[in-house]
Amino acid sequence: MAELPPKAKGFIDWYLAAVDAANLTDKRYPVKGMNVWTPYGFLARRNLDAVMIRAIEGTGSQPVEFPALIPNTEFQKEKEHIKGFDAQVYWVTRGGATPLDVELVLRPTSETAMYPVFALWVRSHRDLPLNVYQIVNIFRYETKTTRPFIRVREIHFLEEHSCQVDEAAAAERVRSNVAAFGVMAHDFALPFAAVRRPEWDKFPGAHYSVAFDIPVGEARTLQIGTAHHYRENFSGPYGIKYEASDGSTKLVHQTTFGLSERLIGAIVAVHGDDKGVVFPSAIAPYQVVVIPIAGGKSAAPPIDAARTIAERLTARGLRVHLDDGPDRPGAKYYHWEGAGVPLRLEVGPREAAKGEATCVNRLGERSTVGADQFEATVLARLAAYDDELRARATERFRAAFEIASSLDELKSSTHVRVVAWCGDEACGHRVEEAIDGALLGVPELPLPLRLPPPGRCIACASEKPVQWALAGRPL
Amino acid sequence: MAELPPKAKGFIDWYLAAVDAANLTDKRYPVKGMNVWTPYGFLARRNLDAVMIRAIEGTGSQPVEFPALIPNTEFQKEKEHIKGFDAQVYWVTRGGATPLDVELVLRPTSETAMYPVFALWVRSHRDLPLNVYQIVNIFRYETKTTRPFIRVREIHFLEEHSCQVDEAAAAERVRSNVAAFGVMAHDFALPFAAVRRPEWDKFPGAHYSVAFDIPVGEARTLQIGTAHHYRENFSGPYGIKYEASDGSTKLVHQTTFGLSERLIGAIVAVHGDDKGVVFPSAIAPYQVVVIPIAGGKSAAPPIDAARTIAERLTARGLRVHLDDGPDRPGAKYYHWEGAGVPLRLEVGPREAAKGEATCVNRLGERSTVGADQFEATVLARLAAYDDELRARATERFRAAFEIASSLDELKSSTHVRVVAWCGDEACGHRVEEAIDGALLGVPELPLPLRLPPPGRCIACASEKPVQWALAGRPL
């Protein structure tokens, strides 16, 4: 049991060690950037999926699944889009020993798989809106350094694709996606910034892109999701048209909403500490670990009492693990802390006799859970733990931002920067050069920061209307 | 709304039309044999997955997920296995414009993806048994005619892989898989035969294979799952070894268990009728459809009463759809019958006034659900419906088999045949020639048929010990 390197000393080293110690993934699969979901990591992912499914189906989206292989003929139809993905797709060129007549792309995202079929599904205004999503794996021939969950070559991915009657309805769908992400982020205990990416950094083929960013590590930022307005950019080439109520034929306006396993990386990155991973209860593979403790060297631990507690909590719908293995209690505490389990219930002979347990949460808060209202008390402790996790994350989120008033201040920045920006591309690029990173964009939702009026543009000092924008160095 | 072709007149035509009418899949995707899971089909699949997950996790299997791409170097390690799959794998040969150093196979099954990693996971007898499963899509470059769910090129697949201490423990795991399939099949309302495939028809690389077969259509059979004992056939080449408690190093014995979306095809094939699909309640996307009915031409249908019923049943955990659309009631009945919904609740003004509903199940049985104990009554009706579905399927299953006493009787058989077989391969091939099909194998579990002692081998009439075996024409 090696100690983790301290998080404050170097984020990436800590992150890699924390992911390994919790055994969330196995990186030893013999293809770089394609990792194995271990049982423990898979359970976290299943919980992540459940949170996403609940939120997105709550907005009227229906599940579908389209094939993983896309014929090159369909893939080539939207020029901007294909330019953005050409260099990073995997090509299937043979079936058995036979060269394929039409080469197939392993989906890097599913616009070009879905839209030929949407053209068949959408006929009339009565077929709209069409809001469908799928949770699948996508594939990108990534040339940058890969990192578990954060940058991999096979990516667990949620993608919603929608068709709307017009531009305004599509803009409303994007807002609804941003709101749905807020619902999920509450469960992840992740404060985030929703920003509209500048023109030069939008998704290939999009009219505009809204991205969700969080601060991580040493003043870096991590994009943890996106929603895009496509206008008619894809419906034109793919012929997705409908008969409007006035009898005219119109192209649909489209949107997409994308989230991925990177959210697990974000949860580890934001909540983890020098002991390892810290899971919010919605994502934790086990929400409670119950550990029976012997009263003395030769005494047997009260396993039956511990099992009863585990069974009662399981019956209340909690995910509970009874650790009745041979290791010393200290070793178990260490292991389950590193694995991020929200609540540890210790049951010694005294607790067993009274029907109680000692509760220690992953933030180190200790309390007794009495026999009376036992299950309800554990549920309340779990909710209080999530609230505290959220409060701490919000505090760190706020502290991660700092206003910069000059381009000079952006250099070797120890914060994500808030800058006044006139909206000109040239000024945006000067900000990016100064911070050696990206102008992330203008917030779509109010940030949880107190900001004065923005004043003049940080780059050109022009008197044109300026807005607060975020600038940072994406991980 | 075209009528379906009668099931009795031609199984495949009926099957294709029933799947289309229920809108379970869209075959118009521009790659042959790769179909789109529509929202309705996807919901059936989600329910199928839930049944499989519950049963398999009940036997101590843990979820994992391994990458979809397998390096050729790993894929080549087990000779029999690779011979069995070489002609039907998709090859990934380029990333972007770059030819890959090591070509990648899109998994046709995951032995060769998992076992190099199992060699790292298994060290000691304390790591055994290792029972893990994944639900993923697999890919086969299928050259036969493709059929929705039954034979496709991208296949939704459950695969369990296990490592055991020795041959006996592996045989026990296979038995446990067969038992788990029995638990699932109860929910699917599918009677099945579990047979040990003859030597010449086992899975490539297996020591032996147990397959689950059902009779479908015109005396055809459909394999709807398999469990295999691999002995040390893979653990040798992949080096999956452990230190036994006596300090010696041993190879593990392995097993696998495979199920797929073909189960949805089987459910449609077995339960469906001339009106369309018939779903058991565990799989039905909607278990109940509630239809408000107007009292007269100008009266409004009691939508509020219908919605209240739908909400109350949803709160009890049922999957309920309220159809308050503009179509005539008759058109709605027709649609939801074709879609296989188990229970239809009709709410007219009289029923609404009394808090009742008229219940019609998908087998045509009509009853009234009174206001008192409304939800409990609906749950009871659903359970009775499943029982009746199971009873009818079992009756048809029994009627599908017939003993054949001579090779001549096997020709142009209108039944799946039960034959006495001495176990010789030559005799097996004579049976296969006569029936123009396959000797499916010897039952592992008692069939629900009354059979006399088997007598002499149907082919050689030898006095050697013979067993009842099944022979049929696989679809």
Query: ipTM score here?
Result: 0.97
pLDDT score, position A295:
87
Around Cβ A55, how many Cβ atoms within 10 Å? 21
pLDDT score, position A303:
95
Residue of chain A with shortest Cα separation from B102:
A31
**Chain A residues closer than 8 Å to B30 by CB:** 71, 73-74, 116
pLDDT band at A101 (very low <50, low <70, confident <90, very high): very high
Is there a single domain that holds both residue B425 and residue B378?
Answer: no
| CATH code: domain of residue A301 | 3.40.50.800
Is there a single domain that holds both residue B305 and residue B261?
Answer: no
| CATH code: domain of residue A19 | 3.30.930.10
Is residue A2 predicted with pLDDT exceeding 90?
no
d(CA A379, CA B71): 46
Residue B64 at interface with chain A, using a CB cutoff of 8 Å: yes
Q: Is residue B95 part of a domain?
A: yes
pLDDT in tens, A284-312: 999 999 999 998 887 889 999 999 999 99
Distances (CA, A) of B85 to A163, B75, B90, B200, B205: 40, 10, 10, 16, 11
Residue of chain A with shortest Cα separation from B117:
A29
Is there a single domain that holds both residue A378 and residue A405?
Answer: no
pLDDT in tens, A37-78: 999 999 999 999 999 999 999 999 999 999 999 999 999 988
Is there a single domain that holds both residue A255 and residue A300?
Answer: no
Is there a single domain that holds both residue A60 and residue A186?
Answer: yes
Is there a single domain that holds both residue B69 and residue B204?
Answer: yes
Is there a single domain that holds both residue A434 and residue A373?
Answer: no
Q: What is the average pLDDT across A25-36?
A: 96
A320-322: strand order across its sheet? A320-322, A288-292, A343-347, A357-361, A366-369
Is there a single domain that holds both residue A104 and residue A211?
Answer: yes
Residue B139 at interface with chain A, using a CB cutoff of 8 Å: yes
pLDDT in tens, B299-353: 889 999 999 999 999 999 999 999 999 999 999 999 999 999 999 999 999 999 9
CA quadruple A420, A424, A430, A434: dihedral sign: positive
Is there a single domain that holds both residue B28 and residue B152?
Answer: yes
Chain A and chain B share a number of CB contacts under 8 A equal to: 144
Distances (CA, A) of B143 to A68, B11, B37, B140, B291: 19, 21, 22, 9, 45
Is there a single domain that holds both residue A156 and residue A23?
Answer: yes
Yes or no, beta carbons of B31 and A69 under 8 Å apart: yes
Distances (CA, A) of A447 to A51, A214, A398, A469: 23, 11, 9, 11
| CATH code: domain of residue A418 | 3.30.110.30
**Chain A residues closer than 8 Å to B62 by CB:** 39, 42
Domain boundary (B324, B357, B384) is at B384
pLDDT score, position A149:
98
Query: CB of A268 within 8 A of CB of A277?
Result: yes
Residue A196 lies in domain: 7-271
Q: Is the pTM of this model over 0.90?
A: yes
pLDDT score, position B140:
96
Coil, helix or strand for B434? helix
Q: Give the count of alpha carbons within 13 A of B217, CB side only.
A: 16
Domain boundary (B243, B271, B299) is at B271
Is there a single domain that holds both residue A97 and residue A234?
Answer: yes
Q: What is the average pLDDT across A409-433?
A: 94
Is residue A1 predicted with pLDDT exceeding 70?
no
Yes or no, beta carbons of B154 and A69 under 8 Å apart: yes
Residue B73 at interface with chain A, using a CB cutoff of 8 Å: yes
Query: CB of A25 within 8 A of CB of A35?
Result: yes
Q: Is residue A279 part of a domain?
A: no
Mean pLDDT in chain A?
Answer: 96
Q: Is residue B1 part of a domain?
A: no
Query: CB of B203 within 8 A of CB of B228?
Result: yes
Q: Is residue A283 part of a domain?
A: no
User: How many domains does the structure of chain B reveal?
Assistant: 3
Distances (CA, A) of B288 to B18, B282, B326, B346: 20, 12, 19, 11
Q: Is residue A278 part of a domain?
A: no
CB nearest to A67's CB, from B63, B141, B154 = B154
Regions in chain B scoring below 50 on pLDDT: none
pLDDT in tens, B222-253: 999 999 999 999 999 999 999 999 999 999 99
Is there a single domain that holds both residue A122 and residue A232?
Answer: yes
Yes or no, beta carbons of B30 and A120 under 8 Å apart: no
Q: Is residue B341 part of a domain?
A: yes
B288-292: strand order across its sheet? B320-322, B288-292, B343-347, B357-361, B366-369
Q: Is residue A35 part of a domain?
A: yes
Domain boundary (A333, A350, A382) is at A382
Q: Is residue A423 part of a domain?
A: yes
